[in-house]
A and B are shown apart, each in its own frame.
Chain A
Amino acid sequence: MVGYLFLTILVFSIAAFFVGRSAGNRFVATNGVSTHSLPGYHGAFVAVWVGVPALVLLLLWLMAQGSVIDNMLLSTLPATLTEAASAADKNLLLSEIKNVAAGRIFAEPTPEITAAAETLLRWQQIASWLMVVVVVAAMLLAMFFAYSRLAPRFRARNGVEAFTSGIMIACSIAAILTTIGIIASLIYESIEFFKLVPVHEFLFGLRWEPQIAIRADQVAGNGAFGAVPVFVGTIVIATIAMLVATPIGIFTAIYLTEYASDRVRNIIKPIMEILAGVPTVVYGFFAVLTVAPAIRGAGNLMGLATSPNSAIAAGGVMGIMIIPFISSLADDAIRAVPRSMRDGSLAMGATRAETMTKVLLPAALPGIMGGILLALSRAIGETMIVVMAAGLIATLNINPLDSVTTVTVQIVTLLIGDTSFDNPKTLAAFALGLVLFLVTLGLNVVALTIVRKYREQYD
Chain B
Amino acid sequence: MTDATLPTQVQTAAINRARLRNKRNAADFRLRAYGITAISIAVGLLGILLFTLVLGGYSAFVQTHIRVDFPISAEYVDPADPAEGNWRAVVSDGVGALLPSDSPAQARQIAQILTNNTQFFVRNAVVADPSVIGGTLTLDIPAADIFDQLNKGNIDRNTPEANRRVTDQQIEWFDSLQEQGRVSTPFNWGLFFNADSRFPELAGLSGAITGSFYALLVCFLISFPVGIAAATYLEEFAPKNRWTDLIEVNINNLAAVPSIVFGLLGLAVFLQIFGLPRSAPLVGGLVLALMTLPTIIIVTRNALKAVPPSIREAAYGMGASPQQVILHHVLPLSLPGILTGTIIGLAQALGETAPLLLIGMNAFITSPPGGVLEASTALPTQIYIWADSPERGFVSRTSAGILVLMGFLLLMNAVAIFLRQRLERRW
Contacts and interface: CB of A to CB of B under 8 A. Distances in A.
A175 B38 contact: no
B111 to A, nearest CB: 32
Interface residues of B, number: 83
Interface in B350-373: 350-354, 357-358, 362
A357 B250 contact: no
Contacts of B352: 279
Given A354-B27, A382-B258, A440-B258, A281 B380 contact: yes
Interface residues of A, number: 88
Nearest to B403: A282
Interface string B374-400: 000000110110010000000100110
Interface string A341-381: 00000000001111011000000000000000010011011
Interface in B320-346: 321, 323, 327
Interface stretch (A8-16, A101-109, A246-254): A246-254
B233 interface: yes
B52 to A, nearest CB: 5
Interface string A280-291: 111111101110
Interface stretch (B172-180, B181-189, B267-275): B267-275
B125 interface: no
B contact face: mostly helix, strand, loop, or mixed = helix
Contact of B254 (A179, A259, A324, A357): A179
B272 A440 contact: no
Given A175-B230, A320-B45, A354-B24, A416 B260 contact: no
A377 B256 contact: yes
Nearest to A349: B24
Nearest to B36: A255
Contacts of A323: 42
11 contacts: A169-B233, A176-B246, A182-B261, A268-B43, A277-B348, A281-B380, A388-B387, A416-B362, A430-B264, A437-B257, A440-B256
Nearest to B30: A353
Contacts of B49: 278, 282-283, 286, 290, 320
B83 interface: no
Interface stretch (A84-92, A159-167, A300-308): A159-167
A383 B259 contact: yes
Interface stretch (B7-15, B58-66, B136-144, B289-297): B289-297
A247 B27 contact: no
Contacts of B256: 374, 377-378, 440, 444
B253 A441 contact: yes
A169 to B, nearest CB: 6
A248 B39 CA distance: 7
B46 interface: yes
Contacts of B413: 277
Contact of B357 (A351, A357, A416): A416
Interface in A400-433: 408, 411-412, 415-416, 419, 421, 429-430, 433
Nearest to A158: B321
Contact of B402 (A285, A288, A377, A383): A285
B226 interface: yes
Given A248-B41, A252-B42, A275-B46, A178 B254 contact: yes
B41 A178 contact: no
Contacts of B253: 179, 441, 444-445, 448
Contact of A289 (B24, B52, B269): B52
B264 A185 contact: yes
A383 B351 CA distance: 13
B261 A436 contact: yes
A66 to B, nearest CB: 11
Interface string B21-47: 000110110111011111101110110
A174 interface: yes
Given A171-B227, A280-B353, 10 more contacts: A174-B226, A182-B262, A186-B261, A278-B49, A351-B27, A356-B31, A357-B31, A374-B256, A381-B261, A387-B357
A94 B72 CA distance: 52
B140 to A, nearest CB: 31
A255 B39 contact: yes
A312 interface: no
A272 B258 contact: no
A271 interface: yes
Nearest to B41: A248
Contacts of A252: 35, 38-39, 42
A182 B254 CA distance: 10
B212 to A, nearest CB: 12
Contacts of A436: 258, 260-261
